[in-house]
Amino acid sequence: MEKIRGVWLTNVDSEVLDSKKKIAEAMNLLEDTGFNTVFPVVWNKGYTLYRSGVLKTEFGQEIDPNPKYAGRDPLAEVIEAAHAKKLKVIPWFEFGFAASFEANGGHIIAKKPNWSAKDQNGDLLKKNGFEWMNALSSEVQDFLERLILEVVNNYPVEGIQGDDRLPAMPSEGGYDADTVSRYKAKFGKEPPKNTKDELWLQWRADILTNFLADLTSKVKTIRKELIISMAPSPYPFGFNEYLQDVPNWIKRDLVDILHPQLYRTGLNDYNQLLDDTVDRFTQKKLSKVFPGILAKEGNFLIDTDDCWQVIKKNRNAGIRGEVLFFHEALTLNSNELANFLKKKKYAEFLILRRGHFGADVEELQNLLIQKGFYKGRTDSDFGALTESAVEAFQASVGLSVDGIVGSATYAELLK
């Protein structure tokens, strides 16, 4: 898997998608800074940011009705500008199974009241301001699936992305008549009132995991090289609160790359969350992980040095890339963060050390073989033999001998 250095493009607290010109400027900046992937929002507030036949059929609206999108197709514009700079485009279905935010279900539930998720009081499911569709309903799942597949079929994208709302639903939900009936048919009793009951949590999470399996299969049938990208809440919070069973997603090989939202504003808090995340993966599976980094939210803007410490922490842990939330963090204060990352040669920065595993380790082993320093197997596993070979090579070219492959060692290997 190629290393992902990504940025989310949102239409909230951001102007990047407001015009074709701003999109082009953003792609120029991202390419110049060292990023290689963009995740543009295409599904937010119950509307698409592309020309959707599915949305028009169901709700009579082809695209977000905001006047700034009139006569435009923001996704098509992003693809054109990004591909011109050799950036991958993975559309982000941000709103997922949410129906609205502080709008009592909005236009979706107004037209499709049977799509409502229900809490145990029979009310429209609401959590943290978001009102929800019933993610356990096959009809609702079909709607989201059709939105995603029309993008895959109609646009030359490199993949698709879900997040903390796709596939997801607050664990307070599942008390609609259909879901209750299905649960009773399987277990012979009503769902428990305890929304965190272990069996009840797992049964609902399994329905969402099976939805993801079906979606992945259909996307890969269209083009098997398409990337299935997911940016869930960190586990186990995401499982207990939003029914996101990430370990099962990984076990069943349903995702290609994973971006757990490690959104913390302090370095110590980030480091603790990263350590907990890394501990849940083998090094082999960790090669799929490219964490989501909170770079801007409200008045918060990540400090440039803190951002670099996060990146270094990731590399030392065996994580080869990350995705920044969101684009405007790079451009504030006269492009301060973008200029900082460019000066640091972000695109070239790497750390490979003993215990790491992945295709880049296999590449390293092959380079060491070519230089005559490694006689072991090219097994992608940075073990004692690889470390000894690196140390011998470093000594031969006058580098500091530490057995760790950084940018300087790698540059010498490429000569």
CA–centroid distance for 232 within its chain: 7
β partners of residue 289 = 258
Predicted local confidence at residue 1, as pLDDT: 52
For 30, other C-beta atoms within 10 Å of its C-beta total 25
267-278 vs 304-316: helix axis angle to the nearest 10?
A: 20
**Domains in the chain, please, with CATH?**
5-348 (3.20.20.80), 359-414 (1.10.101.10)
99: helix, strand or coil: strand
**CA distance to 130, 143, 221, 252, per residue, from 96 (Å):** 11, 11, 22, 21
138-154 vs 198-222: helix axis angle to the nearest 10?
A: 30
9: helix, strand or coil: strand
Q: What are the mean pLDDT values of the chain's consecutive 10-residue runs (415 residues total)?
A: 91 97 99 99 99 98 98 99 99 99 99 99 99 99 99 99 99 99 98 98 99 99 98 98 98 98 98 96 91 98 98 96 98 98 97 94 97 96 98 98 97 96
Whether the bond into 113 is cis, omega within 30 of 0: no
> Over the stretch 277-328, which tens digit does the pLDDT of each residue have?
999 998 889 989 999 999 999 999 999 999 999 999 999 999 999 999 999 9
Predicted local confidence at residue 208, as pLDDT: 99
Check if the beta carbon of residue 121 is closer than 8 Å to that of residue 127.
Answer: no
pTM score of the predicted model: 0.96
Rounded distance between C-alpha atoms, residue 140 and residue 88, angstroms: 29
Q: Identity (one letter) of the amino acid at 170?
A: P
In the numeric block, which tokens belong to residue 59?
Answer: 């709700």
Predicted local confidence at residue 404, as pLDDT: 98
Check if the beta carbon of residue 317 is closer than 8 Å to that of residue 352.
Answer: no
In the numeric block, which tokens belong to residue 162?
Answer: 């879900």
Long-range contacts of 247-251 (CB under 8 A, 24+ apart): 247/280, 248/205, 248/206, 248/209, 249/209, 249/212, 250/281, 250/285, 250/288
Predicted local confidence at residue 33, as pLDDT: 99
